[in-house]
Amino acid sequence: MGELVVIKTTRAGELCNLVTFKRSTSDHMNSAMLSSSCPQSHCLASKQGNAIHKLHSERAYGSHSSRVPMAASSSEGSNGRIPHVLTVAGSDSGAGAGIQADLKACAALGVYCSTVITAVTAQNTVGVQGVNIVPEEFVAEQLKSVLSDMQVGVVKTGMLPSIGAVKVLLQCIKEFPIQALIVDPVMVSTSGDVLAGSSVLPIFREELLPMADLVTPNIKEASILLGGMVLETVADMRRAAKSIYDMGPRNVLVKGGDLPDSLDAVDVFFDGEHLHELSSRRINTWNTHGTGCTLASGIAAELAKGLPMLSAIKISKRFVETALDYGKDIFIGCGPQGPFDHLLKLKNTLRRLGAHRLFSPADLFLYAVTDSGMNKKWGRSINDAVRAAVEGGATIVQLREKNMETRDFLEAAQECVPLCRSYGVPLLINDRVDIALACDADGVHVGQSDMPLSVVRSLLGPEKIIGVSCKNPEQAYQAWIDGADYIGCGGVFPTNTKANNQTIGLDGLKAVCLASKLPVVAIGGINMSNAGSVMEIDAPNLAGVAVVSTLFDTECVSSTTQKLHAALKAAAPRT
């Protein structure tokens, strides 16, 4: 069936030994795949059929080519498939960048990651001591193994050290259609070592970039792609993004990690129409080795989940910022550029927080907002009200206490935080960023006239949840630009809870949902009898309803919550 062989390649006078299990011919492999002696033969046969179908399926190639819709196939579903990224990249022995960073980034973001290794580097925090290139035939074999068998959503490339590697990659993605191709044009490591020489430049420019849905050069790589153009400022990055777009990719992200330390971490995104400056605070740390690989893999992971491009970029950038922040003081290796912390501290934090810190739109399904007037009326504490709501099935809680003394509000919040955490339900604070910080709540909800979102984000840090109230598409667009996690939209129906509140109706809600790339929760006058009509508006990003009096102006909060949960489920059976 197969034989154990040692492939030897020579590079820069060195011998590289790769032990592989090599089959004699690819036909042989196909027949092995179809062999009825395989316990999963029914499954393999159907996959093979799928592969044959794919070979004949049509996909447009060439400049700015249109792709299979992003959300088409890959979100986790009842068929047990999970979003899948294939990384085609080099191994970093120090495990800060390359394949190792890609695996960790995808794992942290909950996406399966398969790997095709194009080169093996001897690398640490000091620099790159050696590179062995995997022969292109064996890159091709790895690609075929994965793509002929597994349902890959997004392919992300890193180190592509030879023209041959690029060619086999291009061939394979023509044979096996994918959802998107992200090209991180890795050429020089931060230590200054060459990872892909100038011989690959023509094929990068002429064949690879025109196939890419996104290309993510850092400043040095953008300069090399543009024949040595000087890149020192954000204005230069904007020009570079446009020029690289002209080479054919559908989107360009020029990364500004190597801008001067005095500046924020600004990346420039160009989609052929709009230029966006994506800015985050610069984390003061030596541990930035692998940020580029991590960012590109994170984008691939979010695309594989079905997110649109710019949202995927924003989430991944926030993930990099968070991971850099958590790893800023760790000490691995003695060189000038250490790896950071993709998983370890994040995991600890998630554990500490009851594994609910990373926000999911599903959290908005049944959003309970407290009101102390109602609690007083029914003679219950905030804590009792919140406990009853989460026991009844509330999926997120907001403490909205407009008339409470600060100290009393903080005390109540400090009790509610561990309570909600023990149920795995996020707890947000209305408006009061100071209270949210003091009690370590999961986030805040702000209105249009509260503190600006950018200030809230810089005070709370990247991982907290921030929601913002919006009544119209313009506000919804701005909320997304400003980095909110979700939108609260209303009042959908007339309500007594909020004085002088403009009612926007189901049409207003739908207009906001359609204009918004963020998940939306509907609020205002929603009750047991109209909740269904809200959930049935035709907007995929409507994630749930927020309620005050329907839950808390009742005798038994927990059973009312249960009933509302059931009503919502009945109206939105797939959630």
Ligand X SMILES: Nc1ncnc2c1ncn2[C@@H]1O[C@H](COP(=O)(O)OP(=O)(O)OP(=O)(O)O)[C@@H](O)[C@H]1O
Residues that bind ligand X (CB under 6 A): 97, 190, 218, 255-258, 265, 267, 280, 282-283, 288-293, 295, 317, 320-321, 324
Which of 291, 322, 370, 560 is flagged as catalytic? 291
Place of tokens 């707890």: 427
Q: Which is nearer to Mg ion, 305 or 342 (CB)?
A: 342
Which entry of ligand X, ligand HMH, Mg ion, none binds 182, CB below 5 to 8 A by partner kind? none
Of 158 and 490, nearer to ligand HMH (C-beta) is 158
From 149-157, 165-173, 285-293, 538-546, give the range in contact with Mg ion by CB under 5 A: 285-293
Give which of ligand X, Mg ion, ligand HMH, none residue 339 binds (C-beta under 5 to 8 Å, depending on kind).
Answer: none
Q: Which stretch binds Mg ion (CB under 5 A): 136-144, 214-222, 351-359, 529-537?
A: 214-222
What are the CA-CA distances from residue 220 to residues 161, 386, 485 (Å)? Answer: 17, 53, 32
Which residue among 290, 393, 443, 524 is the active-site one? 290
Active site residue 292: yes
Rounded to a whole number of angstroms, the minimum distance from the CB of residue 315 to ligand X is: 12
What order do you get walking across the sheet with 275-280 strand by strand?
Answer: 128-133, 112-123, 84-92, 154-157, 180-183, 214-215, 252-254, 265-270, 275-280
Catalytic residue among 104, 156, 255, 305: 255
- Residues 85 and 106 sit within 8 Å (Cβ to Cβ): yes
Nearer to ligand HMH, 220 or 569 (CB): 220
Residue with Cβ nearer ligand X (114 or 287): 287
Closest to 357 (Cα-Cα) out of 442, 472, 280, 438: 442
Separation CA 520–CA 297 (nearest Å): 27
The site for ligand HMH (CB under 6 A) is made up of: 89-90, 92, 97-98, 121, 123, 158-159, 186, 189, 195, 290, 292-293
Residues 6+ apart with CB under 8 A from 13: none
Cα-to-chain-centroid distance, residue 363: 17
Assess contact for 84 and 152: CB atoms under 8 A: yes
Q: Which residues of 401-420 are buried (b: 16+ CB within 10 A; e: fewer)?
A: beebeeeebbebbebbbeeb
The answer to whether the CB of 571 falls within 8 A of the CB of 545 is: no
96 part of the interface to Mg ion, by CB under 5 A? no
Residue 288 known to be catalytic: yes
Q: Which does 250 bind (CB under 5 to 8 A by kind): Mg ion, ligand HMH, ligand X, none?
A: none
Cis peptide before 491 (omega within 30 of 0): yes
159 makes contact, choosing from ligand HMH, ligand X, Mg ion, none, with CB < 5 to 8 Å by partner type, with ligand HMH
Bridging pattern class, strands 465-470 and 275-280:
unpaired
For residue 183, the 8-state DSSP code is E
Query: Which residue among the candidates 293, 439, 470, 489 is catalytic per the annotation?
Result: 293
Catalytic residue (one of 96, 158, 292, 393): 292
Whether 293 contacts 257, CB under 8 Å? no
Check binding of 256 to Mg ion (CB under 5 A).
Answer: no
Q: Which is nearer to ligand HMH, 115 or 550 (CB)?
A: 115
Q: What are the φ/ψ torsions at residue 380 (nearest 5 degrees)?
A: -125, 155
Smallest gap, in angstroms, from Cβ of residue 541 to ligand HMH? 34
* Smaller CB separation from Mg ion, 195 or 557: 195
CB of 94 to ligand HMH, least distance (A): 9
Verify binding: residue 292, Mg ion, rule CB under 5 A. Answer: yes
Residues that bind Mg ion (CB under 5 A): 218, 292
Q: Which residues are catalytic?
A: 255, 288, 290-293
